[in-house]
Structures are given as C-alpha cells and as structure tokens.
Amino acid sequence: MDSKLTERVKLTQNKLRKRTLSAIFQEFDQKIMKLERGKREEKYRKMALSPFSFFRGSAYLFYFDVSREWFAYHTPADRPTWIQGDLHFENFGAFRNERGTLVYDVNDFDEGYLGSYLNDLLRMTVSIALVCRLKEQTVAEQIRAIEAYLQAYSKQMRRFAKGKDDPGTYAVDMQQAEGPVKKLLKKLQQRKDEHFLEKVTALVQEDRKFASSEEIVPPTDEEREALLAAWPDYLASVTADSEEEQRHFEVKDIAVKRGSGTASIGLDRFYVLIEAGEVEQGVDDIVLEVKEVRVPVPAYFMPYDETFWTEFEHQGKRVTMTQKAMHHEADPYLGWLSIGERHFYVRERSPYKKRLKLEKLETTGDLLSVTETMGRLTAKLHARADADVAQGILAYHSEEGIVKAMGEDEEAFCASISHWAVSYADQVEHDYMLFTDWLTGIIK
C-alpha cells in the first residue's frame, strides 16, 4: 500500500479510537460520576503516570472492549459467578483477618457484581502483562507469568470442584505463603496493633483525636453532622443494639481522608475513630473507614439481574456482601449507611494493611511465585462466593460451572487467555499514548 494511504489509515484509526476514549471518559467521569473539572484533572494526572496506572483508572474502557468480544470460556449468562469486578495486581494485599491471623488476599470489593468468572481473569491477566512491562520483561516472560497465574487458578478451582480443598476455609497465611508474600507477612508480624492508630491520631489532653496532615483533614460541620446522623443506620447494619455494643461503637472523632486510589477519586471517604474499649489513653481505639460507593462499572456492560438489584439496591450493602461472600473470615465491622442519596460502606482500617510493592519483585521467580498465589486466591474468591449467599442469588456451586467452562484442555485454556492478554496490553499502551495526547488538549 502507498505510504500516504498507510499513514491515512493509521490516522483514521487513531482518530476514531480517540473519539471513543473521549466519549467514554465523558460519559462515566463527567455524566455518571459527576466529577467536577478539578477532580477529573486529578484523576487523569494519576492515570497518565504509566500504562498500568491508565489501566487501573479506566475499568469502564476495559469492559466496553471485552463485552464486545467473543471468548470461548465464558460461563452461561444465566449461571453467573460473584466476581470481584476490578481485579488487578495491586488489589491484593496483606491484612489481619477476624481471628487475628495475618493473611494475603484481595482487599478491594467496590466493583463486586454478578457475571462470568472470565471477566476477572481477563482483567487480571492484562494487569500482569502491564506489570511485567514495568519490569522490562519480554513477551515470552509476560506469557509465562500470565500462564503461571492461570494454571494456578485452574488447578485450584478443580481441587475445589472435587472437594479436595474447601474454599470456605482456604487462606494464604504464614504457613501457606511462599516467596515475596511470605516475606511480607513475616515483616508485618513485627508490627504492633497500635501502628496505624498512632500514625493517624494523637493524644490531645488525654483524648485521642485524628492528627491533621495532607491526607487527613478535619470534616466540615455539615459533614460531621451528616455522618453522625447516619451512624444509627450503620449500627443497625451490624446489629449493634445492646448498651455495651453501642458503647463499643461510640464515635470519638471524624476525619476526611484524601488522596486515595485512582478510580475512586471524587468519592467521599472518612475515617471514624471509635471507642472499641476503655483502656487508658485509647490504645484500643479502632479506626473505621467509611467509603462512598456507586453502581459497579461491570453492571453497565453485563446482563441486568432483577433479583440481584432487589436484594442489593444499596451499594454499600452490595460491597459489604461481596466481601463477606469472597472472604472466608470477613471484617466484623463491615456495614453500610446512607448520607442523603449517597451510599457508603464501613470497614475496619486494618493496622496490618499493606500491599506488596512491585520493586520487591526482584527476580522472575519472585514474580511467578506471586502470580501463582494470586491465581489460587482468585479461584478461592469465585468458589467461595456461593457459600454464604444463601439468599437466592447463587443457588448453585460456581466451581462446577467454571470447571466445565474451562474445559479439560488446561494448556489450550491458558494459551488462549495469555495471548489475548498480551495483545490487549498492546492496546492499553496504544490507548495510553492517545490518552496522554488527548489530555494535553483538556488540561492547560
């Protein structure tokens, strides 16, 4: 083809794709999320840091694309799985579970919804490819890391289906962990319960209060009054009705949390300090996180389920139930409340919460060890989700349908998904280039 024609084709393709990006950003960030200009610019600056950051902040673009592709391994539309909805490399981390055990697991459920298990795998495998590229790995090394994740997922899911492991009790703790994950858990063992409390609070005349910083600021009078007025709704969601329980949840201070996440920019987030005990100087006080949530991104691209929305019309309840469904031992402080028409969920801000930093993955072996762990945990999420939700949402075992959808040829399943993931990572990098170019036109 003539070079001029070739250039014209490329220019046209880029022009059309850039229009698609612009239309999707405007629809979700401006019309649906209602982000004012300053918040949009803040979000887009974070997304512009790298292709992986761009991928993290544009889940709606991902679902727009994959919902228009055909994949061989989907479960039937009438047999959905409870999915995490925004599965990527940095949504895994360490924390302490209800029994006080340090575990490594998924730690974000804001986008939880019903759909094919494959959507989680597709998003996760693309993120692995992008992380590998940050580590300057070759395409062959990217595929190897992705297939390690998929093989671990497949093998663990088949063990659940055969009853060899129980998804209700499966956990990656100090005994189960390997490589960098084990090192992370060992390091956290040295951390004291008061670590986070002392980091974000200070004693003021023998009373513990939040300490102001760039990320933690005092609420306005209106914000404080609105949150306190909604607090009884939260107490009802955790069935804290006795006098002793009411005292446990007594609010001592409130702060506004800023600067967290990328996709969640524009959503309000509060820290609430509660009594929790009566030890002198409040060293047993607990920090709760109150986070605003909206309709999950996957819901805009997947079949509408009337039963689901009847049960989970409140978005805070949806997130709470997603976490309870997917974690074998959920946070006892999980609950929800409303402030006006906005929905929030509440959880403990664990003093042990910590993500595995990418720079800690120093070798190919480190990366493979971590992706294998993530694969097994993803299988646990999907197989576990039908155990606690005995409310007519999932009246069947997800693992049986998933194993059937994956088929018997594990090698073909892994190869198909891994090669697609690398190809879509190329698309993400191209979109990132178009995005940064588009961004220069809207941010002066």
Per-residue pLDDT tens over the stretch 347-369: 988 766 788 888 889 899 999 99
Do residue 207 and residue 231 come from a single domain? yes
Name the band, by pLDDT with cuts 50, 70 and 90, for residue 392.
Answer: very low
Q: Which of 301, 327, 348 is the last residue of a domain?
A: 348
As a whole number of angstroms, the distance between CA 66 and CA 328 comes to: 30
Mean pLDDT over 417-443 rounds to 93
User: Do residues 123 and 346 lie in contact, with contact meaning Cβ atoms separated by under 8 Å?
Assistant: no
Do residue 206 and residue 183 come from a single domain? no
As a whole number of angstroms, the distance between CA 170 and CA 160 comes to: 10
Q: Poorest-confidence range of 89-93, 132-136, 276-280?
A: 276-280
Backbone angles phi, psi at 304, to 5 degrees: -75, 135
As a whole number of angstroms, the distance between CA 338 and CA 346 comes to: 11
Q: Which of 318, 348, 378 is the last residue of a domain?
A: 348
Q: Within a domain: residue 1?
A: no
Do residue 123 and residue 80 come from a single domain? yes
Helix (H, G, I), strand (E, B) or coil at 79: coil
Q: Within a domain: residue 366?
A: yes
Mean pLDDT over 198-205 rounds to 77
For the cut 80, the answer to whether the pLDDT of residue 130 exceeds it is: yes
Do residue 136 and residue 44 come from a single domain? yes
Token pair belonging to 359: 């720079």
For the cut 50, the answer to whether the pLDDT of residue 389 exceeds it is: no
**Nearest residue to 113 via CA among 154, 66, 63:** 63
What amino acid occupies position 438?
W
Do residue 277 and residue 398 come from a single domain? no
Domain limits for position 301: 195-348
Q: What is the number of structural domains in the chain?
A: 2
Q: Within a domain: residue 2?
A: no
Do residue 279 and residue 181 come from a single domain? no
CA angle in degrees (0–180, nearest 5) for 405-105-111: 65
Mean pLDDT over 141-167 rounds to 96
Continuous segment of H or E residues that includes residue 420 = helix 410-442
Token pair belonging to 278: 């009566």
Do residue 76 and residue 108 come from a single domain? yes
Predicted local confidence at residue 202, as pLDDT: 81
Continuous segment of H or E residues that includes residue 293 = strand 286-293
Predicted local confidence at residue 391, as pLDDT: 47
For the cut 70, the answer to whether the pLDDT of residue 8 exceeds it is: yes
Task: Classify burial at 401, counting beta carbons within 10 Å of its beta carbon; exposed 0-12, middle 13-18, buried 19 or more.
Answer: buried
Q: Within a domain: residue 284?
A: yes
Q: Which of 316, 348, 380 is the last residue of a domain?
A: 348
Do residue 158 and residue 262 come from a single domain? no
Do residue 33 and residue 180 come from a single domain? yes
**Nearest residue to 77 via CA among 337, 400, 364, 401:** 401
Residue 189 CB neighbour total at 10 angstroms: 9
Mean pLDDT over 430-443 rounds to 88
Do residue 243 and residue 316 come from a single domain? yes
Q: Within a domain: residue 3?
A: no
Q: Within a domain: residue 6?
A: no
For the cut 50, the answer to whether the pLDDT of residue 383 exceeds it is: yes
Which of 105-109, 194-198, 240-244, 313-317 has the largest mean confidence? Answer: 313-317
Q: What is the largest CA-CA distance in the chain?
A: 81
Predicted local confidence at residue 279, as pLDDT: 62
Do residue 165 and residue 18 come from a single domain? yes
Token pair belonging to 144: 């190897």
Do residue 161 and residue 209 come from a single domain? no
Using a cut of 0.85, tell me whether the model's pTM lies above it.
yes
User: Do residues 122 and 66 lie in contact, with contact meaning Cβ atoms separated by under 8 Å?
Assistant: yes
Strand order across the beta sheet in which 269-274 lies: 216-217, 251-257, 269-274, 286-293, 342-348, 335-339
Predicted local confidence at residue 169, as pLDDT: 87
Q: Within a domain: residue 372?
A: yes
As a whole number of angstroms, the distance between CA 370 and CA 107 comes to: 16
Token pair belonging to 326: 């997917």
Which of 143-147, 203-207, 252-256, 437-441 has the largest mean confidence? Answer: 143-147
Q: Give the 3-state DSSP-derived string for 10-55, with helices as H, strands as E and coil as C.
A: HHHHHHHHHHHHHHHHHHHHHHHCCCCHHHHHHHHHHHCCCHHHHH
Q: Within a domain: residue 151?
A: yes
As a whole number of angstroms, the distance between CA 402 and CA 119 comes to: 12
Mean of pLDDT over the chain = 89
Predicted local confidence at residue 329, as pLDDT: 65
User: Do residues 274 and 285 lie in contact, with contact meaning Cβ atoms separated by under 8 Å?
Assistant: yes
Q: Give every CB contact of residue 206 below 8 A, 6+ residues apart in sequence.
A: 281
- DSSP letter at 299? G
Mean pLDDT over 98-119 rounds to 89
